[in-house]
């Protein structure tokens, strides 16, 4: 749950707002806990969400139904290149090898959702890229040096967000 709070904080801090944004969640949307929580949290805002995953890793049906019932605009697709020029926030997750009972199934999708410099060159100039970390090979390391990479700041914001939550819970914030 604190991951979602720091994700929302990072988006707001880096974009100045949450309402009105177009946010793409990409990677393992079936098993990734961070994307489930973030999607639910984003349903409280006026945003459009793009869910980008291979068919076997799409967002679970019940979560997708909940999101649609909330009134949020949600679109499922398989290719991030189709919408990279539209999105304000790209939230990348790793495809988790340990979630696949059959290693050959993992190999079919591994690397198919790698974010490259070439891809983001087609994105908005102020596109931000987030990742809950750890990463494997889904992000080209050269992206780290760009203004788009906000995942290291996201980690820092996580530390201070969790410190603030602990202070509130323990009464130290008064």
User: Is 174 inside a domain boundary?
Assistant: no
pLDDT in tens, 34-69: 999 999 999 999 999 999 999 989 999 999 999 999
The answer to whether residue 173 sits within a structural domain is no
In a domain, 170, yes or no: no
Is position 7 within any domain?
A: yes
Q: Does residue 38 belong to any structural domain of this protein? A: yes
The CATH number of whichever domain residue 13 belongs to comes to: 3.40.50.1370
Reported as a pLDDT band with limits 50, 70 and 90, residue 112 is confident
pLDDT > 90 fraction of the chain, expressed in percent and rounded: 79
- What total of structural domains would you count in the chain? 1
Residue 132, in any domain of the structure: yes
Q: What is the pLDDT of residues 143-156, one digit of tens each?
A: 999 999 999 999 99
Asked if the structure places residue 160 within a domain, the reply is yes
Burial 67-97 (b: 16+ CB within 10 A, else e): beeeebebeeeeebeebbeebbbbbbbbbee
Please say if the pLDDT value at position 127 is more than 90: yes
Give the domain extent around 50. 2-165
Residue 75: phi, psi to the nearest 5?
-135, 130
Give a yes or no: residue 172 inside a domain: no
């Amino acid at each position: 749950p604190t991951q979602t709070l720091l994700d929302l904080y990072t988006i707001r801090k880096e974009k100045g707002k949450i309402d009105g944004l177009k946010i793409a969640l990409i990677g393992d949307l079936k098993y990734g806990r961070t994307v489930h929580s973030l999607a639910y949290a984003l349903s409280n805002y006026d945003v459009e969400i793009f869910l980008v995953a291979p068919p076997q890793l799409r967002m679970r049906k019940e979560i997708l139904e909940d999101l649609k019932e909330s009134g949020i605009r949600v679109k499922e697709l398989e290719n991030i290149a189709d919408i990279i020029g539209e999105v304000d926030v790209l939230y990348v997750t790793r495809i988790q090898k340990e979630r696949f009972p059959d290693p050959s199934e993992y190999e079919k999708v591994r690397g198919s959702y790698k974010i490259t410099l070439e891809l983001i060159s087609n994105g908005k100039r102020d596109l931000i890229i987030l990742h809950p970390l750890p990463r494997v090979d889904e992000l080209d390391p050269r992206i780290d040096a760009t203004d788009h990479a906000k995942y290291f700041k996201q980690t820092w914001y996580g530390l201070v967000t969790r410190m603030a939550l602990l202070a509130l819970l323990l009464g130290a914030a008064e």
